[in-house]
Amino acid sequence: MRQLQELISFLETQPDPQIVMDADYRIVAANAAYRRHYGQGEVVGKTCYAVSHGYDKPCDQCGESCPLAASRASGEPARVLHLHHTPHGEEHVDVLLTPVRDARGRITHFVERMQVVREASSLPAQRGLVGKSPAFNRMLELIRRVAPSNTTALLLGESGTGKELVAQAIHEHSPRRDGPFVVVECSGLTETLFESELFGYEKGAFTGANQRKIGLVEAAAGGTLFLDEVGDIPLSLQVKLLRLLETGTFRRVGGVETLRADFRLVAATHRELKAMVERGAFRTDLYYRLSVFPIGLPPLRERREDILLLAETLAARLAPERKPTLSAGFRERLLAHDFPGNVRELRNIMERALLMADGDTLLPEHLPPEVGAQPPAPVVEEIVPLATAELRYLQWALAHHDGDRKSLARKLGISERTLYRKLAG
Ligand SMILES: Nc1ncnc2c1ncn2[C@@H]1O[C@H](COP(=O)(O)OP(=O)(O)OP(=O)(O)O)[C@@H](O)[C@H]1O
C-alpha cells in the first residue's frame, strides 16, 4: 500500500497523462497531467476500457489489442496505438503499459502512460495525415516507432496512398525535424542527371557548368533525404546509390574532394521491389540496404472508414474560404467507389466537385458519372450460409456508416457487444 502511495505521488508530477490500474482494469489513480488533459470527471474506480473506449468489456474482447492483457501475459511493458474517446473527440493515443511488481515479484498494478499522437489526426485537420481506420492506425504505429530513430524507412504503397506525406511525418517527428526535408524524384532520371542532381557538380565539370552547384544529398545535410519512386532507378545507377549508402560519402561531378553525407533516408516505391530483385531488375544488396524498416501504406479501398473523413478534410483544405458540406447522396456515392487512384483520386474528385458546386453543398451531380454510380450490393447474389451473409452485411454496414460503432449498433437494433461478437465471426 505504501509502495502504491509512493508510486502515485511520483506520477503526480510527471508531464504525460498517466493512470494506475489494478489487474482487473480498474483505475486506482490518475495523475495531474491526465486530469488536465482529459478532465472528464472522476475516473478512479472505473475501468480503463469504459473510460477510454466506452466499452463494457476489455478491448481485446472488442476487436482491439489490449496492452494490459498483453503485459499481464508477458510480464513485459506493452505499447499500442489506440483511438481514445476524449472530451476533445476521438484522439490517437500512444499507450505504454508497464507492470508494477511487489517485493515478491508479483504484478500488482499497471501504469498506463498516454502520449498524444501528433503525426496524424482522427479529425479533419488543416495539414498532415488524417485517418482513423484500423489499417491506417497500424501504419501510424510503425511511423511512430521509426520516426525518432535514424533508421532507413521504406514506404511501400500504391500511387496516391500518401507516401510523400508519410515521409514528411517521419521527418517532422525525428530529431532532424529542424533540418531540411529534401525530395528526390527518382523516376525519369538519366545517368548524367542522376549524378549531377544528387551529388552536384564543380564549375567546368561539363559544358554549361558555369559555377559550382551543390546536389540534393548535400542540401539534405542535417535533415532527411526522401527518395521517391526508388524502384524506378535503372540498374546502372543503383550501384551509385548503393555506394553512397555504404560509404556515407560522395563526390561532386568533376570534383576530387570526398564529401561526407549527413542525412536520414526515407525511400518509397509503388513497385514490388522484392519481385524486382527476383527478376534481376533491382540489386539485392541495395534492396537490403533500403528495406530495414518497411512500412506498407494501405490503399484507400482497404481503409474505407477513412473515405468521408478524408473527403471532408480535403474539401476544407481545398476551399478554406468556403464551408463545404457533403450531402448524403454525395457521401453514398463516394463510399461506393473503389478509388484505384487512392487519396490522390479522392483529392481530384473533391477539387472538381468544389468547382462544379455553385453553393457550398456538394451533391451527387457534382461527381464524375463513374464515381460510385453502381453501389455494390452488400450481399452478393449467391446462396451462402446465413451467418456468412450476416457477416458480409455487417462489414458493409461498418464501411458505410459514418459514425462510431455504438451508433451503428443502435441503428442495427443490437447492442454494441453483439455487434463486436458478430463481427469477430
Ligand atoms: N492520410 C492522408 N491524409 C490527408 N491527405 C492525404 C493522406 N494521404 C494522402 N493525402 C493526400 O493525397 C495526395 C497524394 O498523396 P502523396 O502525394 O503523398 O501520395 P504518394 O503515395 O506519394 O503518390 P505517388 O506515388 O503518386 O507520388 C496529396 O494531396 C496528399 O496530401
Q: What number is the average pLDDT over the span 162-177?
A: 97
Model confidence at 62, in pLDDT bands (50, 70, 90)? confident
pLDDT at 42 over 90: no
What is the structure's pLDDT at 376? 52
Lowest mean pLDDT among 203-217, 249-263, 307-321: 203-217
Mutate to test the pocket of ligand 1, among 163, 344, 349 (most ligand atoms within 8 A of CB): 344
Is 347 near ligand 1, meaning CB less than 6 Å away? yes
Is 11 near ligand 1, meaning CB less than 6 Å away? no
* Degrees to nearest 5, angle at CA 335 with 333 and 337: 75
The CATH topology of domain 147-296 is Rossmann fold (3.40.50)
What is the structure's pLDDT at 261? 97
What is the structure's pLDDT at 100? 94
Q: For 46-60, how does the pLDDT look when each residue is reduced to its tens digit (9 = 90+)?
A: 888 888 887 888 877
Q: Where are the domains of the chain?
A: 2-116, 147-296, 304-366, 386-423
Q: For 63-75, how does the pLDDT look when each residue is reduced to its tens digit (9 = 90+)?
A: 778 888 889 899 9
Which residues partner with 112 through β-bridges? Answer: 19, 97
Q: Looking at ligand 1, which atom is closest to the CA of residue 346?
A: 12
d(CA 155, CA 153): 6
Portion of the chain with pLDDT greater than 70, in percent = 97
What is the structure's pLDDT at 310? 97
How far away, in angstroms, is 161 Cα from ligand 1 center? 5
> 304-366 architecture in CATH?
Orthogonal Bundle (1.10)
Model confidence at 378, in pLDDT bands (50, 70, 90)? low
pLDDT at 219 over 80: yes
Q: What number is the average pLDDT over the span 208-214?
A: 88
Q: Looking at ligand 1, which atom is closest to the CA of residue 161?
A: 21
Cβ neighbours for 299, distance < 8 A, ≥ 6 positions apart: 157, 158, 161, 339, 342
- The 3-class SS string of the chain reads CHHHHHHHHHHHCCCCCEEEEECCCEEEEECHHHHHHHCCCCCCCCEHHHHHHCCCCCHHHCCCCCHHHHHHHHCCCEEEEEEEEECCEEEEEEEEEEEEECCCCCEEEEEEEEEECCCEECCCCCCCEECCCHHHHHHHHHHHHHCCCCCCEEEECCCCCCHHHHHHHHHHCCCCCCCCEEEEECCCCCHHHHHHHHHEECCCCCCCCCCCEECHHHHCCCEEEEEECHHHCCHHHHHHHHHHHHHCEECCECCCCCEECCEEEEEEECCCHHHHHHHCCCCHHHHHHHCCEEEECCCHHHCHHHHHHHHHHHHHHHCCCCCCEECHHHHHHHHCCCCCCHHHHHHHHHHHHHHHCCCCEECHHHCCCCCCCCCCCCCCCCCCCHHHHHHHHHHHHHHHCCCCHHHHHHHHCCCHHHHHHHHCC
What is the structure's pLDDT at 308? 95
Overall CATH class of domain 2-116: alpha beta
- Say which amino acid occupies 226: F
Q: For 289-303, how does the pLDDT look when each residue is reduced to its tens digit (9 = 90+)?
A: 999 999 999 999 999
ipTM of the complex in this document: 0.96
Q: For 91-122, how does the pLDDT look when each residue is reduced to its tens digit (9 = 90+)?
A: 899 999 999 999 899 999 999 999 988 889 98
Residue whose C-alpha cell is 499497471: 110
Which triple of cell numbers denotes residue 126?
488543416
Q: For 393-417, how does the pLDDT look when each residue is reduced to its tens digit (9 = 90+)?
A: 887 888 777 777 888 888 888 888 8
Chain-wide mean pLDDT for the chain?
90
How far away, in angstroms, is 108 Cα from ligand 1 center? 46
Q: For 4-13, how does the pLDDT look when each residue is reduced to its tens digit (9 = 90+)?
A: 899 999 999 9
What is the structure's pLDDT at 124? 85
Mutate to test the pocket of ligand 1, among 132, 165, 309 (most ligand atoms within 8 A of CB): 165
Nearest CA to ligand 1 atom 9: 162
pLDDT at 374 over 70: no
Lowest mean pLDDT among 123-132, 153-162, 295-304, 373-382: 373-382
